[in-house]
Each structure stands twice: as C-alpha cells, then as structure tokens.
Structure 1
Amino acid sequence: MAEIVAIKRSTPEGPVWASLDKGVLRLVLSNPPANVLSVATMAALQAQLDGAMDDKAIRVIVIAAQGGVFSAGHDLKELTAHRSDADRGRAFFELTMSRCSALMQSIVRHPKPVIAEVDGLATAAGLQLVASCDLAIASDQSTFCTPGVNIGLFCSTPMVELSRNVSRKQAMEMLLTGETIDATTARDFGLVNRVVPREYLNHIVGKYTQTIVSKSPLTLKIGKEAFYAQAEMSLAEAYDHAARVMVDNMLAKDAEEGIGAFIDKRQADWTGE
C-alpha cells in the first residue's frame, strides 16, 4: 500500500489553520468566537481545498473549528460596512454570495471526501458548510439553525444544501421558524451522520478518516463524483450513468487489484490507478 505521509505541513495562523497527518488534511476555522465566513476566511478555505485537489498525500479532508461556535455564517458586520458604498453594498454582497456558492460547490465536487467535525453552533452559512460536506459528525453539544428569517434575511443560499440533506418539510420548518435544533434532531433530520459525546468527537472522526484512508483513492474519487451526478438525474438516467461508471471502474487497476486481493485473502496494494 502506498505510504501515507505522517506530517506534511502545518499552518497555525490566519483564519484557517491547516495540518496534514497520515493522509488527513485538517482545516480549522480559527477566527473565534463566531468563526464567521468572512471573504478572507472563505478565500483561505478555498485555497486549501484547491491545493488539495491533486495532492496525492491528502486522502481525506476534515473541516473543524476553534471555540464553542463551529461557524455563525457570514460576517454581518463586514456586510453592513459596505452599505455606505455608492451601490449600497450590492457589489460586495454579490462577491460574498458568489464566493460562498463557489466554496460550497467545490466541497461537493472535490475528489477527496470531506468531513465536517462539528462542536458547537452551526448557523446560516455555517450550517450550509456542514450540509455541503460528505459526512458530518457532531458533538452532543452542537446546535443548528437557519435564523435569517429572524433578521429579515431569508437563508436562501443555505437552503440549497439544507434541502438536499433533509426532507422538504423539515427544511421549511427550519427556514420559516429560524429556531435552533439540537444535535439529535439534526441527526434525525439527516443533517449529520452521528452524534457523540464531546470528549469522543475527535476520536470518532479519526476512526472515520482512517477507515476512508485505507480505501483506494481512485475508487473514492469515482464514487463521490458518481454519487452527486446521479442524484440530479432521473431514475433511468441515473442507472445508465452508474452502469457506465461501474464498467470504467472495473477496468481500473485498483479494482483489479482489490478484487484479486479479496479472492486471494490478502491486503490490497492501492496505486490510485
């Protein structure tokens, strides 16, 4: 099996701290207390995600946060400051929303699995960030909401990912009331995968990441891409697409190696080809 680099880099400064350990790139929102998704924070996250695209040492990405708030969403003070612009802030508002939309889509389209490690409040665009990740593991102290309606600003962009994770009725309940739900309710809604005691959160996320790291990186890339592609198709189109993906996957060297290893009862040696 290809060697996994133990430590490649660590950048403990700026709005996003990044470190790589055993194939896992850990990105930590580091502008407490609210960990807002300012333009600078979104740019830092985007840069890290873009840099991980073709980095073979990175197999899984975890997005976490410092402090008791995962993310309170967009920086309302930053947005409000631009109301004095000649266009009343329109250009900056458009920049903020376009950057956010691009960031969320890059998580969904990223070839590497992305896991949200949530410990605390995830609200508005912060909830959108959680919903955009492939998996979300939350501590039992975490809470979630889309409170825009409370301040006259409907959470329209968070709605996109929220409505793709939970049922319409549950999404509309959150969007129309702006009320906060606890971690267990978020799990029942389908917004997060698991809820664990706070003291075990990092350990459980670590178990997920190392399980995923042990798989063929090519297979994960193929599967993630196919999952999101077929989800937007009709049933017949989805089956046609998935069948083509399966055929191409079968022809990959990693599939040949994996099937051979299973038959021979040995550990597979992934090459990513």
Structure 2
Amino acid sequence: MGFLLYKVDENTMKSMIKITGLSLILLFNNVALAAQQNVVLVTLDGVRWQEVFNGADKNLLNNKEFVKQPAQLSNEFWDERVQQRQQLLMPFLTQTIAKQGVIIGDRAKGSTMSVSNPWYFSYPGYNEILTGEVDESINSNDKVFNPNKTILERLNAQPEFKNSTALFGSWDVFPFIVNTQRSKVQVNAGFMPVADDLFADAALLNALQTEIPSPWHNVRLDSFTYRFAKAYMLAKKPRLLVISLGETDDFAHDGHYDAYLKSAKQSDAFLKDLWQTIQSTAGYKNNTTLIVTTD
C-alpha cells in the first residue's frame, strides 16, 4: 500500500493523468523518455499514506512508547485541521506537487493503489517498481543479485542511453536489486563514497559519512544520499535518475515515531530543493518528470 505523485510540465499533463497504479515502466518507455525527456524517481521508503494525506497521527503522536516528548512533537506537527497538518509535515509534496501534478493513494477518498507482489516489504517492492513485474521468487531482503532486468539496465543497454541511468540509495541492498555485476549501471548505496572530484565538497561529505554514526549498519543517513545524487545529476546529467531515501522506514521499524515524522519532513524539503534544482538547470528545466512514491 502506498502513494504515487507525479510533477510534470503542462504539456505532459494530459498523458500523465491517465496513468494509474505502479505503471512506472510504461511511463519511462512511452511518455517521458520517448519524448526525449528526463525522469527523476524518488522513493520514500516506508512512508505511510496516512501521514501523506492526513499529517501526523494523533494516536501515535501522544503515545509515549513511540514518542519521547509528545507535547513538543505536537507543537511541531499537530493541528485539528487536516490541510494544516499536511502543511506542517510535507507541504511541498501535498500542496505544490499535488496541485501541479497528479496524486494517487488517499484511501479515505477511494483513491487506492497497492503493490502486486504478496510480500509487502522492500526488495520485492523495489523489484516491482524498477522492473514493472512481480517475481514471487524474490521473497526476502537478502543480498542476492536480481535475475530480473530493471528499467535502468534496459535503458543502459541502448546506445542512446548508455551511462545515462543511475541510482542513489540509502539502503545497501540496491547494488543487488539493480544487479550491478551484470547491468553495469551506476549505483551508489549504503555507505559507498562518491568520486572526490565529482563536486567541490565531495571529499568532505565522504569523510563525514564515515565519521557521523548512522543508527543502522546497512542504511546511511538520507542527507548523504540526497547530496550525492544531486551532485551527480548536475555533473553527469543522467536521463533517468532514481533516488531512494530510507530513514523513514528504519525509524518506523525502530518504533521512533518522532524521528519518523522529522525525517518525512526533511524528505519533503529535499523534494522541494530537487524540483527547484531541476527547474533551474539547463536540459532539465521544463523537460523532466518527477515521480515520488513509496515501496
């Protein structure tokens, strides 16, 4: 279960509004890339549709088992009005993107979407998103090279898209999901560094990534993932870029609803900065479809 948002230019809207469900492969092949456009796909791992469309959950907000300082968190994220709660948590995603693009997944209003695989966790979900197909044999999050070809690999095999696809993710399993051993797609995930000459502060961020402890052994902090991905986009100009943020999922699994909300809010800020960067960069401006979804 999840949500899906598209932010598109006016010329693409009529085609985009007809798309439902997880038909991302059709989008890549038939809409954006076929029209010589670019696609940036951002996944917010573990973000619930309830928070996206309704803001903070009052029952969880006041539950001391999941929140250390309920009063302080309520001051930051609670309002009796749903629209105000949305703006307190994810204002860019729920207001700007939803108004200028297409939004799917508010089950309370009958807008439903779900994964097709029976497992409802990460590796099967990302396989489905990136290949457009369900493979029920992928039934764990183990580091096993994916036998299926993702859209990144399929495009990378075409001469006109060679070295024009890339994925940056916080979770260290993505090299296996994209099967870098076979696909040769540019993937940076987990605690992998970037080339020191990619951008001015690359060496500093590489050092900070090793110096600042992550709460998890296999997921880095999303700020590094986003900054690396943004720098790569500006330097290499990929036609298809996937950015997978992971903090929300891990904070939720750890039972830290306060950190989950703050990470979701920061993810929204990343989305705003990403879209502003796209719209101020030659080759991307008015020529890029931004897709935001969850696994």
Q: TM-score, normalised by structure 1?
A: 0.26
Which has the higher Rg, Structure 1 or Structure 2? 1
- Which protein has greater RCO, CA pairs closer than 8 Å, 6+ apart? 2
Q: TM-score, normalised by structure 2?
A: 0.24
Bigger strand fraction: 1
